[in-house]
Structure 1
């Protein structure tokens, strides 16, 4: 079975069997995906993961509303897909984190080389939104509430094991997010011993929002570590 087949089978069966608080909803882009959006998803993975070669494992936090929460592909918006000739006609979005990651992909040597070396996933492959005090639904991370984190742990553990298998029995994890994501992953790894090592890098959104003037410096840092 190719990596593409493994990933797509996993995505199409993704669900969370957890009774979350009423003010939190799950973002599952795969559940009601249109035929044309699914075609683009299949094309992406068939093109870049149509083999059985092992990859190293790079993980974000969880999908956001404007990136993987719509496209189903971590750190990839429709602008990034368009750059490799893949169209999602019913979805149109740009996302800050995706912009950084795709600059990284190009600096690494292009998508064939990058995705040939790396599988990008997420600690939680499904995302969340929470109703705030103003009545707006906003992004919510799996670690933002200690009680919710404990509720999600069994789901997250299962998904981490699946991603380890998909990558090719990865023994090391590379994380995007040096703060709460790294802290939460350390908690999980201390408890379950999934990885020999965890290397945390700054989250793309942090770089683009607060360190954009040093973008080239961060790209060089990421390349030196990921290569």
Structure 2
């Protein structure tokens, strides 16, 4: 993965979308992953590049500051195929209104996130206030199944420096530095806390349960988790955009 953080520095000519897409276009498939692990790089496809450009220019073609939400790494049925974090082909077409010819397979995390977005006020309002990404930008798989960057020590060691470079690159975007929302209360939160203690990226980190965990193990409490998310989002927005 290339860093080139300096290329992300905002100018009046560069919108949020411009700056992010410049960085996104420079992502490459890592060659240093342990044997049997693979990173998915959908952006090399002209069709996926078109969808990603359409999405970010639809919702981020401005210079406005956003609150960042950071997940673990994309899943193969969500951002790993569409190139857009927590957005599966179904939600991309039905909720974002972006047509495509991808297989209409659902992702549990995407289902939860877009239910939350709907309750927040819809995609236009949500993406005007928030920017979702992940600590590691590419989907990771082993034997055709999703893996998290922290599931294997050798994998974690291989991507650790890339995670730092990735976050430092995202920080060149117009994002709020008062608070960040960490999607994942366990190991993802622990790593972000550790890195933030070293690099002082944000003043406060607020963790929320990961959508996959909710949908797989706590589905009966989904409405309660949705309300928790909405409360955290509204509080973060107030912290970031208050005059004080």
Q: Shared fold (TM-score greater than 0.5)?
A: yes
Q: How far does residue 7 in structure 1 lie from its aligned partner after superposition?
A: 1.8
Aligned partner of 1:215 in structure 2 is 222
2:146 counterpart of 1:139 = yes
Query: CA separation in 2, counterparts of 1:85 and 1:148?
Result: 36
Q: Which runs of 4+ in 1 moved over 6 A?
A: none
Q: Indicate the RMSD between aligned Cα atoms, in angstroms.
A: 1.6
Q: After superposition, where does 1:49-64 map in structure 2 within 5 Å? A: 49-64=60-75
With over 3 angstroms needed to count, the CA separation of the structure-2 counterparts of 1:208 and 1:90, relative to structure 1, is closer
Residue 57 of structure 2: which of 46, 62, 73 is its match? 46
Aligned partner of 1:13 in structure 2 is 26
With over 3 angstroms needed to count, the CA separation of the structure-2 counterparts of 1:195 and 1:150, relative to structure 1, is farther
2:188 counterpart of 1:181 = yes
Query: CA separation in 2, counterparts of 1:2 and 1:157?
Result: 24
Structure 1 range deviating more: 173-182 or 18-27: 18-27
- Specify the SS of the correspondent of 1:166: coil
Query: CA separation in 2, counterparts of 1:48 and 1:163?
Result: 17
2:58 counterpart of 1:71 = no
Q: How far does residue 67 in structure 1 lie from its aligned partner after superposition?
A: 0.4
Residue 4 of structure 1: which of 2, 10, 17 is its match? 17
With over 3 angstroms needed to count, the CA separation of the structure-2 counterparts of 1:189 and 1:183, relative to structure 1, is same
CA contact (8 A) 2:30 2:39 kept: no
How many residues get paired?
Answer: 220
Where structure 1 has 5 or more consecutive residues not aligned to the other structure, the ranges are: 131-135
CA contact (8 A) 2:29 2:41 kept: no
Q: Deviations over 1:136-173 (max 9, x none)?
A: 32111111123332322211111101112224353422
CA contact (8 A) 2:79 2:86 kept: yes
- Specify the SS of the correspondent of 1:89: coil
> TM-score if structure 1 supplies the norm length?
0.91
CA contact (8 A) 1:28 1:127 kept: yes
With over 3 angstroms needed to count, the CA separation of the structure-2 counterparts of 1:161 and 1:55, relative to structure 1, is same
Aligned partner of 2:41 in structure 1 is 28
With over 3 angstroms needed to count, the CA separation of the structure-2 counterparts of 1:205 and 1:222, relative to structure 1, is same
